[in-house]
A and B are shown apart, each in its own frame.
Chain A
Amino acid sequence: MRALLLTLLAGSLWTCTDVIELETDFTDPQLVVDAWLTDEAGPQTIRLSLSQDYYANRLPTPVENAEVVVCRTAPDTACFVFAPRDSGRYVWTPAPGERIGEVGQEFTLGIRHGDENYVGRTSLYRVPPIDSISIQFEEERLGLDEGLYAQLYARDFAGVGDAYLIRSTINDTLLNRPSELNLAFDATFDAGSGTDGIAFIFPIRFSINKTDDDGAFVPLIAGDKVEVELWSLSPEAFYFLGVARDQLQNGDNGIFQIPVANSPGNVFNVDTQESALGIFNIAAVSRAARVVE
């Protein structure tokens, strides 16, 4: 909610920007765990890398030679070894028909790298089905050209605390601009808003559309293919992505920017209890696709 309002406010001012050169005081890279798994069939990948200077503008330094394992810890015990590949990738390829687990089950991630051991825990949270992707004609209004736009219809579960990541792909292009990082918490933007069990609110339904460089939505044309995935998030994963979203989109807030904040991770060094960067989450996934006629 806030993000939307701030952008609205900031957009109404006559500000101007210049690119400047900055040096940072960054010296110590930290371990980054990029462990966003799903309950779907198919290979699951965990990436280990190091954090880098904000302005380095390069691919991350991979962390090789680690041992990575994910274990289902409740209700039963089963472990899945993630085999090292190139570029800091660790991959588990399930046998045909095999899945990592089901909604409600608990999991632990273990990483050993040199003398350091890291552990993360999570549960597999529920995700509602996507009822439909509807394509509707919208008339011109401020910030929106007239044309066809998609909307994602799904209904939040009753009960507070359901959180989802919405990933939209249009014509095989994954929408991954900072402004296209879309989350839902009980059908709205953030925790604490008091909504529950309703259809995703309009701005979230509408967020699956493509945006241009200026942040304006781009209308669809006949033949466009819209694919949407809904991933369930643990509370820790939602909080992480919520902070990341607010930070990634903060530049648009102009004079109303919020303070720089770090996304808290959920994978910890066993000895120091310090957090590695990044999240271990296993998502249940709903999918839907539609071609514009």
Chain B
Amino acid sequence: MKRILYALLVVVLGTTLVQAQTNVTVRGYVRDLSNGETLIGATVYLDGTSKGTVTNEYGFYSLTVAPGTYTLVAGYLGFEDQRTSLDLFENQTYDFALGESGKLLQEVVVTAEEEDRNVSTVQMSVERLDMTTIEKLPSLLGEVDVLRSIQLLPGVTSVGEGAAGFNVRGGSIDQNLVILDEAPVFNSSHLFGFFSVFNPDAVKGVKLYKGGIPARYGGRLSSILDVRMKEGNNQHFEVQGGIGTIFSRLSVEAPIVKDRSSFLLAGRRSYIDVLAAPFLNDDLAGTQLNFYDLTLKTNYRFSDKDQVFLSGYLGRDVFSPGDDAGFSWGNATGTLRWNHLFTDKLFSNLTFYYSDYDYAIDFGDDPDEDAFNWDASIINTSVKPEFSYFISPTNILRFGGQAIHYRFEPANAIAVSDGDEIDISISRQWALESSLFVENEVTLFERLKLNYGLRVSHFAYLGGRNVYTFGEALRTGLPRPLTGVTPTARDETIEDWFNFEPRAAAQYSLNDNSSVKASYQRTVQYIHLLSNTTASIPLDIWTPSTNNIDPQLADQYAIGYFRNLRDNRYEVSVEAYYKDFSNLIDYIDGADLVLNEFVEGQVLTGKGRAYGTELQVKKTEGRASGWLSYTLARTERLVEGINNGDWYPTRFDQTHNFNLTGFYELSDRVTLSATFVYNTGTPLTLANSGYYQLGYFVPHNAGNARNNFRIPDYHRLDFSVTLDPKAEKADRRWRGQWIFGVYNLYARRNPFTVYGDQIDGRTLPGSVINTEAIKLSVVGSIIPSVSYNFTFK
């Protein structure tokens, strides 16, 4: 395997090295002048040409050109361009520091070359949101939220309000790789799905890959959500904070050594319980209901060739109604990264990360008499070297690899009943995932850009526990019976898989402001979330691929047309995709996934398909800006034992999904924002009949159809007003900002689900048991909010 990759590398490198020899390279970083933060995705180009490049995830660029004198221009949306004239006869370093454009300057017409990324790059099916946009969006209870914001983008849906996670192009929620500074976050929500775990004060921006995923990313089928943390202000001390309805936030950032090193420390905590505490009597005084997160990042630049970053995240939800029960869950991640420049053209990043998602539950005030204690975790550690070789402005070669060690602890559990203690733990699991990738981005014939690559992945399910084999189910839909138990030695490979994941994307410029793009990707996913509730619960467990559960596979084909209008002030895109899934996971009727050692016997596998069209129109500047997105889509599954073996729509299938987001700058001080959301109701299964049994009325789904009923459509309008300080006060050290918001402005009771329920509680034996249909709404009224944010410099 290694040999094939090596050969591939040599071929690609060999062809391109030759042509690059006589040229010179300029390289450096593009930063924000005010705080030293690197700018990801800033453009650096040669004035008067279309030759240029884009800064990478670390704000680094490298541009190789024929010797000569050039004017270099660096640009980034919301910042003023910076131009510099350079005599490039030998390799050199040049760092740009861009100043934010004043409000009025935003009206200035910008040049075509830099703002047309939407059209000119090979990458399609990608969505970027920077924090300035996310912060302006109206939000639930005024809490700025990264994950709820991306649900306003085309192709991204959710099963309903308050549900954890999101669905991308027909993928289930575990098919998104959510990474915070490279480290995966397994549960990205506080309070189930209401708030995301990312502190807006610590986030620089997010990028969502829905398709055309480059070979350097892998591990999940449907999307990559890359969340990058700020590095911390390396120019001066700065404190930011806010008081909201749910959270209070505080962050501190400052240089440690100016221009060389800085740190950021940001924390948030909910305070419902603090406010409620005085009103609780003695027995409830111990009640805890809170969630918090803490983010730390620091960096040190040893030289212009070496820089290290250390980031850490700790978040937790704690729910404890008194002393005799407790429930908590949370993520902890740590990332150490080292950027090293081997040559002016060869940039490398080495990442080590640790990620732990865990939860704990305990009941019982007398641990010797009656108690229940359960904790579970998924821990993974990884090393990930990556290299970018900036061969020429028209050619970037990336290669690298990754190894991830997983440790799953589904349950360390003890039950004590009437003084008897019994260990009901579930066996741990271990696995090793390894991958290598090579990816080449090249421009051919001026108009054609390609990014093609290959990812080779390997997964080993490791021993150290009993391995179970299961026979055929007695009848379809019943649990498969256990037929064998085999003990295995630690680190022995029980089963392993090799997969090739080819990726390819092409962009063809029709003219200066329009292009067509196409992409293909194969993705493989080796770890799976076991969940059959409508909204995922924090207790859901992950499992590796095992001798009973194969890795999931998906192929996605996408084409798109991209056009910018009126000097790039409007961006228009239309994309169509088709996705084929295999080895998807579903469950038998009545599956019990929690605390079940033999859960593998309840898993069914099947196929899936998803297809759709996404339209997006964006207005990126001016007093009025915003975007409109519309998705027409279908996502279906085919699983033997479900829906009589016919295709059925998934629980999160939405035919139409429409979002309109608008911002209007009324004055220097006042910004109005609004979002309108409309989507087709999701499908679900309802019992159509019932029968009397043992004095109960048992619901029954005659015909066994799955998801054959659609809940009513969803629509909602949100609105907010942001009040910034007066212009003459803007230079003061203390800047305060008020945000008044209204969520669900016309108080629609949007349905989350519909279900049948018994009306009568207790009934006399032999009498009629009455039933009714109930519509459940998560948010049933208008929710106003006020929050105050401040910055102190």
Contact = CB atoms under 8 A, between A and B. Distances in A.
B782 to A, nearest CB: 13
A30 B765 CA distance: 22
B361 A250 contact: no
B330 to A, nearest CB: 16
Contacts of A251: 755-757, 774
B417 A26 contact: no
Nearest to B769: A57
Interface in B676-726: 684-696, 698-704, 706, 708
Interface in A22-51: 22, 24-26, 28-30, 32, 34, 36, 47, 49-51
Given A54-B699, A248-B698, A255-B535, A262 B704 contact: yes
28 contacts: A15-B752, A15-B780, A20-B773, A20-B774, A22-B773, A26-B689, A30-B691, A30-B702, A51-B700, A52-B689, A55-B773, A58-B768, A60-B691, A60-B692, A140-B283, A141-B283, A190-B595, A192-B595, A194-B424, A195-B417, A200-B417, A201-B370, A259-B651, A262-B700, A263-B698, A264-B477, A277-B691, A277-B693
Contacts of A180: 762
B422 A57 contact: no
Contacts of B419: 199
A28 B425 CA distance: 45
B700 to A, nearest CB: 6
Residue from the set B160, B322, B361, B689 with the largest chain A CB neighbour count within 10 Å: B689
A54 B595 contact: no
A260 interface: yes
Please tell me the size bucket of the interface on A: 35 or more
A256 B757 contact: no
Interface of B is mostly: loop
A8 B322 CA distance: 14
B505 to A, nearest CB: 37
A6 interface: yes
B285 to A, nearest CB: 11
Contact of A258 (B289, B533, B770): B533
A159 interface: no
Nearest to B194: A13
Residue from the set B598, B599, B776 with the largest chain A CB neighbour count within 10 Å: B776
B133 interface: no
Contacts of A20: 754, 773-775
B483 to A, nearest CB: 16
Contacts of B704: 262
Contacts of A58: 768
A221 B340 CA distance: 76
B737 interface: no
Contacts of B370: 201-202
Interface in B589-636: 589-590, 592-599
Contacts of B774: 17-20, 251
Given A17-B777, A57-B771, A176-B763, A52 B691 contact: yes
Interface string B260-290: 0000000000000000000000011001010
Contact of B537 (A141, A196, A256): A256
Interface of A: 1-2, 5-6, 8-9, 12-22, 24-26, 28-30, 32, 34, 36, 47, 49-55, 57-60, 139-143, 153, 173-178, 180-181, 187-188, 190-196, 198-202, 205, 213, 239, 241-244, 246-248, 250-251, 253-264, 277-279
B319 A174 contact: no
Nearest to A36: B694
B701 A260 contact: yes
Given A34-B692, A239-B590, A244-B696, A255 B162 contact: yes
Contacts of B762: 173-177, 180
A140 B281 CA distance: 10
A108 B704 CA distance: 28
B327 A8 contact: yes
B647 interface: no
Contacts of A19: 772-775
A131 B699 CA distance: 35
Residue from the set B289, B419, B592, B763 with the largest chain A CB neighbour count within 10 Å: B592
A178 B702 contact: no
B773 A5 contact: no
Contact of A256 (B533, B701, B755): B533
Interface in B625-669: 651
Contacts of B477: 264
Contacts of B83: none
B698 A22 contact: no
Contact of A247 (B319, B478, B698): B698
Contacts of B752: 15, 255
Given A36-B694, A253-B533, A262 B589 contact: yes
A255 B420 contact: no
A18 B762 CA distance: 21
Contacts of A257: 533-534, 753, 755
Interface in B32-82: none
Contacts of A250: 755
Contacts of B324: 141
Interface in B519-538: 532-535, 537-538
Nearest to B594: A2
Interface in B426-485: 426, 475, 477-478
Contacts of A255: 160, 162-163, 192, 534-535, 752-753, 776, 778
A58 B768 CA distance: 5
A22 B774 CA distance: 9
B761 interface: yes
Contact of B699 (A59, A247, A253): A247
A25 B692 contact: no
A145 to B, nearest CB: 11
B778 A15 contact: yes
Contacts of A190: 592, 595-596
Contacts of B367: none
